[in-house]
Each structure stands twice: as C-alpha cells, then as structure tokens.
C-alpha cells in the first residue's frame, strides 16, 4: 500500500519508504473504475479501482487474493438506529460487504481486510479533536475480529481526511492525506 501520512494517524501495518507516493493518483492499469459515496458498498469480481474520500468515516476493504474478488464499504456512524438500517452504519455496512464478496465468489477462510479513515476532523470548544472517527474504527476492528477476518493493513485516526483507492483484484491500496 502506498500512502502519505500525518503524524497523528495510526498505521495498522508497516509501510516501506519505497511504497510512499506523492503522485496525484495510482494508475488504474486497465481496471474498471468506481467511486463509492458514504453509505455505499461496491464489490467486483472484475479488476476494479474503487475510490472514495474519507474524513471521520471508515472504509473496510475485504478481498480474496485467490478468487481475485474484493470490495469496500464507506460508512458514517458505527451502529444503526432502530428506524434505519442502511449501509451508512458500520455494523450494517460490514455485514453487507461480507455478504457481497461471498456472493461474488470469495471464500471466507481466505478473506483479508484493510481499514482506512476514522479521522478526528471536528474541534470541540475546549480545543480537542472529536468526532465519530474513533468509534467507527473500533467497530470495524471489533467486528472483523469477531468474524475472524485478519486485518492486514490500513491507516486510521489522525486529524486529516484521506483519499483511498483500492484494487479489488490484488488487494492493493493507495492513500493520500487531504
């Protein structure tokens, strides 16, 4: 995964210096392209470069390298309310993502995950950074652990948003801080 990071961000995996990039975007290399908005899930069995912009929102990427199937979700808040059960909420979005990658041919024992986002983008009256970002990240990590899906990389926290591009066929990800 290539990325630029801010000092407050917490990487979930080590990144070699050679993997860092300052380029405007990674090349799609003949992949289909998709853009995911908050509250959406996109999965493909065709090589696809999925992009999204994250602030306090979180994107969970799931992929099966052998089946070359992958996808991501983009959620705003950790848990749904009684009246609304949509992919805007992490517990619903992760469930929907898992069901979709399995329906596209992924095998559960081979699934791997990457988690991105969860920045604290709002400053409170006392000057501290606040927002749902931390809770969004905690939910993703907890649910993935409960599902026994290993989180192999990611970039979470900090105070800046991120642009994310995820390649469904090889599980590679590119992050640029905003």
Which three-class secondary structure state does DSSP give residue 33? strand
What's the pTM value of the predicted model, to 2 decimals?
Answer: 0.84
CATH architecture designation of domain 2-11+32-177: 2-Layer Sandwich (3.30)
pLDDT tens digits, the chain, 178 residues: what are they? 555 544 455 555 433 333 333 345 566 678 999 999 999 999 999 999 999 999 999 999 999 999 999 999 999 988 766 676 778 889 999 999 999 999 999 999 999 999 999 998 776 666 666 678 999 999 999 999 999 999 999 999 999 999 999 999 999 999 999 9
CA–CA distance, 96 with 107 (Å, rounded to integer):
15
Q: Which residue has the tokens 């999204």?
A: 52
Structural domain boundaries in the chain: 2-11+32-177
Are 96 and 62 spatial neighbours (Cβ–Cβ below 8 Å)? no
Give Cα separations from 93 to 11, 37, 45, 77, 138 (angstroms). 22, 12, 19, 10, 14
In this prediction, residue 26 carries a pLDDT of 65
In this prediction, residue 22 carries a pLDDT of 39
């Amino acid at each position: 995964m290539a990325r630029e990071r801010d000092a407050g961000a917490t990487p979930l995996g080590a990144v070699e210096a050679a993997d860092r990039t300052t380029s405007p975007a990674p090349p799609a290399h003949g992949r289909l392209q998709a853009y995911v908005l908050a509250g959406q899930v996109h999965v493909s069995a065709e090589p696809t470069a999925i992009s999204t912009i994250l602030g306090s929102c979180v994107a969970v990427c799931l992929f099966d390298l052998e089946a070359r199937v992958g996808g991501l979700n983009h959620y705003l808040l950790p848990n749904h309310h009684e009246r609304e059960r949509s992919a805007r909420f992490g517990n619903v979005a992760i469930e929907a993502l898992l069901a979709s990658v399995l329906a596209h041919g992924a095998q559960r024992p081979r699934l791997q995950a990457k988690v991105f986002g969860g920045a604290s983008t709002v400053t409170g009256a006392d000057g501290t950074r606040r927002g749902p970002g931390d809770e969004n990240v905690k939910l993703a990590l907890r649910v993935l652990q409960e599902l026994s899906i290993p989180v192999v990389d990611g970039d979470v926290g900090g105070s800046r948003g991120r642009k994310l591009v995820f390649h469904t066929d090889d599980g590679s990800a590119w992050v640029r801080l905003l």
